Amino acid sequence: MASTKIVLGAIFIASFYLSASLAFPPGHHEGAYPVGNGPVSGLSPDYYKFTCPQADEIVVSILKKAIAKEPRIGASLLRLLFHDCFVQGCDASVLLDDTEEVVSEKNAIPNKNSIRGFEVIDEIKAALEEACPHTVSCADTIALAARGSTVLSGGPYWELPLGRRDSKTANMKLANKYLPPPNATLHRLIKFFQRQGLDKVDLVALSGSHTIGKARCVSFKQRLYNQHRDNRPDITLEKSFYHTLALACPHTGGDNNIRSLDFVSPSKFDNSYYKLIMEGRGLLNSDEVLWTGKDPEIAGLVKSYAENEPLFFEHYVNSITKMGNINPLMGHNGEIRKNCRRVNQEI
């Protein structure tokens, strides 16, 4: 009996690794290999069912404390998943610090003085190592933290495929190249997402992440004073909104002052982001152009999400699952880092 089970188990595990290694040939490539949704990704929501069944509980309990202390941290952790997955895939490359071998992505332009939440990831990872040593990857830790933060902020829950492994490299150049800037045109935003295997629906739904969190003045100042290199504001900015922004963000200085991306409900994950951009009160250019960019499909989605929050949540769940499945390291590729900030020491 017992030995039959073991044999069956071994066959199951062997076939799992075989299919995983076929789906993901060895080696870590530059750029992203979109793998889309569902079982083809090779990741599984049950990945830690036997090896760390309490993983999600541990993550959520630490998130609860962190969000109670500072509501914005949920937004910062959600953003980490985006900045991880768009650069070499969801492999925790974003967490690596500078060393002799590693040029950290933290110093790339979109990340520097901007991306945050590393201390909370460290705390979660330490608790996971304590409960289940050398088991849960840093890449999965980011994904679990992003899902938990979304749910704790009032957003939707999704079945989260797990089993990503951690990279031994980071790529600052790719972070500069593949993370979209806030002043991008709609045409460019579509291209940035296409490169990752993400479509227009994904672009509009995932931009809805800006229903929580904050941005620095430097990220939207061009809209206030020099939108088209003509020393004039962006005419699509609603007038009174423009005046409050200009007060917070003067022409010179104040670059690190911060404003909420969704000033109506800055720490609640809801669909007010879409209502705001329809009123000319989106904070970033990349937000506003979803409505003003003259793409009927995209503007139509904005309107649908503004009118129908359940539809937004449904599409969001689908799109963030796709994003979370971009080019994971599996099988014998990568490693399970002990400390998310550095690759394991070879002994």
Ligand X SMILES: *[C@@H]1O[C@H](CO)[C@@H](O)[C@H](O)[C@H]1NC(C)=O
Q: Which residues are catalytic?
A: 83
Q: Residue 180, annotated ligand binder?
A: yes
Q: Which stretch binds ligand X (CB under 6 A): 32-40, 57-65, 138-146, 177-185?
A: 177-185
Residues 192 and 181: their CA atoms lie apart, in Å, by 10
Instruction: Provide the residue type at 213 as one letter.
Output: G
What would the two tokens of residue 72 be? 């914005």
Does 75 interact with ligand HEM (rule: CB under 6 A)? yes
Q: Residue 262, annotated ligand binder?
A: yes
The crossing angle, in degrees rounded to 10, of helices 200-207 and 285-292 is 130
Cβ proximity to ligand HEM, 43 vs 142, nearer residue: 142
Q: How far is the CB of 181 from ligand X (least distance, A)?
A: 6
Does 209 interact with ligand HEM (rule: CB under 6 A)? yes
Q: What is the 3-state secondary structure (H, E, C) of 97-149?
A: CCCCCCCCHHHCCCCCCCCCCHHHHHHHHHHHHHHCCCCCCHHHHHHHHHHHH
Task: Fill in the DSSP letter of residue 218.
Answer: G
Q: Residue 87, annotated ligand binder?
A: yes
Does 114 interact with ligand X (rule: CB under 6 A)? no
Q: Of 214, 177, 170, 183, which is closest to residue 79 (Cα–Cα)?
A: 214
Q: At which residue do the structure tokens 């089993």 appear?
A: 163
183 binds, among ligand X, ligand HEM, none (CB under 5 to 8 A by kind): ligand X
Q: Residue 84, annotated ligand binder?
A: yes
Q: How far is the CB of 83 from ligand HEM (least distance, A)?
A: 8
Residue 76: is it exposed, middle or buried by C-beta count within 10 angstroms (0-12/13-18/19+)? buried
- Residue 93 · residue 169 · CB < 8 Å: yes
Site pattern 160..189 for ligand HEM (x: CB under 6 A): --------------------x-x-x----x
Name the strand (E) or helix (H) holding 216.
strand 214-216
Does 176 interact with ligand X (rule: CB under 6 A)? no
How many helices, marked H, and strands, marked E, lie in the chain? 14, 2
Q: How far is the CB of 256 from ligand X (least distance, A)?
A: 16
Cβ proximity to ligand HEM, 137 vs 153, nearer residue: 153
Number of chain positions touching ligand HEM (CB under 6 A):
25
Q: Of 313, 203, 318, 321, which is closest to residue 269 (Cα–Cα)?
A: 313
Q: Residue 204, annotated ligand binder?
A: no
Cα separations in angstroms, 244 against 215, 217, 252: 15, 12, 16
Residues 83-142 that bind ligand HEM (CB under 6 A): 114, 116
Does 183 interact with ligand X (rule: CB under 6 A)? yes
Q: Which of 82, 158, 178, 305 binds ligand HEM (CB under 6 A)?
A: 82
* C-beta nearest to ligand X: residue: 183
Residues 167 and 281: their CA atoms lie apart, in Å, by 39
Annotated binding site for substrate: 180
Binding site for ligand HEM (CB under 6 A): 72, 75-76, 78-79, 82, 114, 116, 180, 182, 184, 189, 206-207, 209-210, 212-216, 219, 261, 284, 286
- Residues forming the site for ligand X (CB under 6 A): 181, 183, 185
Please report, in range form, the residues annotated as the binding site: 84, 87, 89, 91, 93, 105, 180, 210-211, 262, 270
